[in-house]
C-alpha cells in the first residue's frame, strides 16, 4: 500500500498563471499554477524564534483551474489538498531538470486580502462566491479541532 497525500494552508504569492491547452475548442481545458507560501516558527541555533517560509508550486486542472482563475488572487489564504508529482525535461543546456509540484484535488478559499487592506495591515475580507462549496470542496465529516473536547489527562 502507498500514500501520496499533501495538505497545505498558505498564502498565494502572486496572481495565478493560467494556460489554455486547446485554444480552438469552444470550452478549452485550463491549467492554473499557483505559488503558495507556508510558514512555521522555530528556534534557530541561537535560540531565537525565526519564521521559515517554504514555497510550493500548486497545479490545478479542469474545473479547479477555472475556479482558481476566477477567484484566487495574490494574498489569498488557501487550503490545498492533493498529491506530489515530479516531472522532468531536458533543458536548452542539455541538462535534465526536475520539478516537484502539488497536483491540487481540493482547493478551498479560507480568506482573501485585498491589496489595500493587506498594505494597511487590515483583517482579511471574504469574497463573494469563494465559499468552500463554490470550489466543490468536500466538507470534513469529523469535528474540527475547535469542536473536539480537550483531554487534560493525557499521559504525555
Secondary-structure percent of the chain, ordered helix, strand, coil, rounded to 5: 10, 45, 45
Residue 139 pLDDT > 70 = no
Q: What are 98-137's pLDDT values in tens digits?
A: 999 999 999 999 985 554 444 444 444 333 333 344 444 4
What is the pLDDT, as a whole number, of residue 142? 41
Residue 4 has pLDDT above 90, yes or no: yes
CATH code at 6-127: 2.40.50.140
39-81 pLDDT, tens digit each: 999 999 999 999 999 999 999 999 999 999 999 999 999 999 9
Report for 94-98, 134-138, 140-144: range of highest mean pLDDT: 94-98
Kindly write down the DSSP assignment for every residue of 50-113, as one continuous string.
EEEEEEEEEEEEHHHHHHHHHH--TT-EEEEEEEEEEEEEE-TTS-EEEEEEEEEEEEEEEEB-
Q: Name which residue leads in pLDDT, 16 or 142.
A: 16
Which pTM does this prediction carry?
0.68
Per-residue model confidence as pLDDT tens digits over 15-43: 999 999 887 777 778 999 999 999 999 99
Amino acid at each position: 500500500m502507498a500514500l501520496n497525500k499533501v495538505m497545505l494552508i498558505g498564502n498565494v504569492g502572486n496572481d495565478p498563471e493560467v494556460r489554455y491547452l486547446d485554444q480552438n475548442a469552444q470550452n478549452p481545458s485550463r491549467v492554473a499554477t499557483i505559488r503558495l507560501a507556508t510558514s512555521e516558527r522555530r528556534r534557530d541555533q541561537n535560540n531565537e524564534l525565526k519564521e521559515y517560509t517554504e514555497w510550493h508550486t500548486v497545479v490545478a486542472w479542469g474545473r479547479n483551474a477555472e475556479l482558481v482563475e476566477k477567484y484566487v488572487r495574490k494574498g489569498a489564504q488557501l487550503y490545498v489538498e492533493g498529491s506530489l508529482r515530479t516531472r522532468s525535461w531536458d533543458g536548452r543546456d542539455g541538462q535534465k531538470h526536475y520539478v516537484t509540484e502539488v497536483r491540487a484535488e481540493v482547493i478551498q478559499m479560507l480568506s482573501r486580502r485585498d491589496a489595500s487592506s493587506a498594505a494597511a495591515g487590515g483583517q482579511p475580507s471574504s469574497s463573494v462566491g469563494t465559499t468552500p462549496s463554490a470550489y466543490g470542496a468536500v466538507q470534513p465529516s469529523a469535528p474540527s479541532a475547535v469542536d473536539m473536547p480537550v483531554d487534560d489527562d493525557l499521559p504525555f
